[in-house]
Structure 1
Amino acid sequence: MITKLPRWVEYGAFILSLIAGLVNAVGLLGFKHQAISHLSGTATLLGTGLLNNNFSELIYFLLIIVSFILGAAMSGYFLRSGALKLGRNYSALLYLEMVFLIGASYFLMQGSANGIYLASAACGLQNAFASTYSGAIVRTTHLTGIFTDLGLMLGAKLRGQAFDERKALLLLLIMSGFIAGGTIGAYCYALFKFQALLIPAGICLLLAISYSIYSRKINSK
């Protein structure tokens, strides 16, 4: 059970899931109405596309998947562990995610699929560096596992097992952040189109700076 969940994990999980929800909303409403922050639908489209003999479409979906994996690989290379831990250089990865999202905005405004690939890489990078904390899965770019974990916890509670309130809070924060991000993303896309991706890019910048300041403050004590 999570008995001592630091506030920085809760705040970070909420903000990261908000970023992902925002990015995903822009993808769904914009270029080819493509989900960006997760790959289940993309993998399905890749599978069904094999029957259509449409080579360019197959390459398109395959590159989205490969981009997500490459983004995750970047996190894996620099962090060397999936467990969240204060003091690691998450700021550098957040700056990189910011650059990816700015690039995605630029290319999507030009009507280029390169924007989708960069946005997918940004989500893969983020989903990998926020991986686990004290045994709790912290995936911030999709909610399937989050809803599943919460359902399992509720079922165990009905069976008489102890209910981990802090873990439940973390899961609820991720859910609410993603949904809030989707709402903000839809609103901002209506106003700014693909320039709306500059908003999560800016949030990445602020989060990176805030984390650096907080980490230095804690480590100096």
Structure 2
Amino acid sequence: MFTKLPRWIEVGGFWLASIAGAVNAIGLLGFEHQAVSHLTGTSTLLGLSLVNLDMSESLHLFIILVSFMLGAALSGVIIDNAVLRLGRRYSFALLIEAGLLLLAMLSLSQGSNLGHFLASAACGLQNGMVSTYSGATIRTTHVSGLFTDLGTMLGARLRGHPIDTRKIIIFLMLISGFIFGGSIGAYSFQHLQFVSLAIPATGAMALAVVYWVYRHISKVHG
């Protein structure tokens, strides 16, 4: 389970969560308060718009949902496995994510709603890219499940069961990364508007390079 996860998971998870947090903050500030790194709020807004018979808004929200799903599907095509394992094509997936975010930046800067869909697809791609490892769920684009898991672990500890400290550390790193990224996204949006999407895009590209170098060094010394 979590004890089997490689040591680079903490750093990589923090980085990925920071990217998602930044994109989500920019989305909330610039996409008419729409979150794009997770779909709970978007699904709720879709339900509200359907009740109000706002078909234009409903279609827009529905496409955001579909875009996220298509991004996750693209991840499945690229990586071809839901299991986190060194050597799979994560660098390529990260570069595509960066490309989607840059295209979203250009679209939104020109006033096109296409950018909403591209940003959502980028988050779906990332969420699909890091899913499970040895049965351990890794989430980097939303934190609701992480807080739920921490709460159930606390409850189990109160009943006298042992706590997996590695699991807690990973969850706290992911939550901290998401909050940190949200702060970066919010601050940069105040000064750069949609150009601020270049920051998480650059983060994804940098992580792709770091991962590629790490993988090849591991192969040489493996």
Identity of aligned residues (%): 54
Distance 2:39 2:108 in 1: 19
Distance 2:183 2:133 in 1: 27
Counterpart of 1:33 in 2: which secondary structure? coil
Distance 2:202 2:29 in 1: 20
Does residue 139 of structure 2 align to residue 170 of structure 1?
A: no
Q: How does 1:61-76 map to 2 (within 5 A)?
A: 61-76=61-76
Give the superposition deviation at 1:137.
1.1
Aligned residue in 2 for 1:42: 42
Counterpart of 1:7 in 2: which secondary structure? coil
Aligned residue in 2 for 1:128: 128
Counterpart of 1:3 in 2: which secondary structure? helix
Aligned residue in 2 for 1:98: 98
Aligned residue in 2 for 1:82: 82
Moved more, 5-14 or 112-121: 5-14
Moved more, 58-67 or 73-82: 73-82
- Amino acid across the alignment from 2:181: G
Aligned residue in 2 for 1:14: 14
Distance 1:18 1:220 in 2: 30
Distance 2:218 2:30 in 1: 41
Per-residue CA distance 1:141-162 (angstroms, 9 max, x = gap): 0011111111111111111111
Distance 1:19 1:91 in 2: 15
Distance 1:155 1:115 in 2: 42
Give the superposition deviation at 1:76.
1.2
C-alpha RMSD of matched pairs (Å)? 1.0
Q: How does 1:108-119 map to 2 (within 5 A)?
A: 108-119=108-119
TM (norm. structure 2) is: 0.97
Does the 8 A contact of 1:18 with 1:180 survive in 2?
A: yes
Q: Which runs of 5+ in 1 are unaligned?
A: none
Per-residue CA distance 1:73-117 (angstroms, 9 max, x = gap): 011122222111111110000000000000010111111110010
Does the 8 A contact of 1:72 with 1:126 survive in 2?
A: yes
Does the 8 A contact of 1:91 with 1:209 survive in 2?
A: yes
Does residue 24 of structure 2 align to residue 24 of structure 1?
A: yes
Distance 2:99 2:3 in 1: 36
Give the superposition deviation at 1:4.
4.3
Counterpart of 2:3 in 1: which secondary structure? coil
Aligned residue in 1 for 2:152: 152
- Amino acid across the alignment from 1:46: L
Aligned pairs, how many? 221
Aligned residue in 2 for 1:203: 203
Counterpart of 1:43 in 2: which secondary structure? helix
Per-residue CA distance 1:49-74 (angstroms, 9 max, x = gap): 11222221111000000000000001
Give the superposition deviation at 1:5.
3.4
Counterpart of 2:2 in 1: which secondary structure? coil
Distance 1:128 1:201 in 2: 17
Distance 1:162 1:219 in 2: 36
- Amino acid across the alignment from 1:128: G
Does the 8 A contact of 1:5 with 1:166 survive in 2?
A: no
Runs of 4 or more consecutive aligned structure 1 residues displaced over 6 Å after TM superposition: none
Does the 8 A contact of 2:4 with 2:134 survive in 1?
A: no
Per-residue CA distance 1:190-216 (angstroms, 9 max, x = gap): 110000000000011110000000001
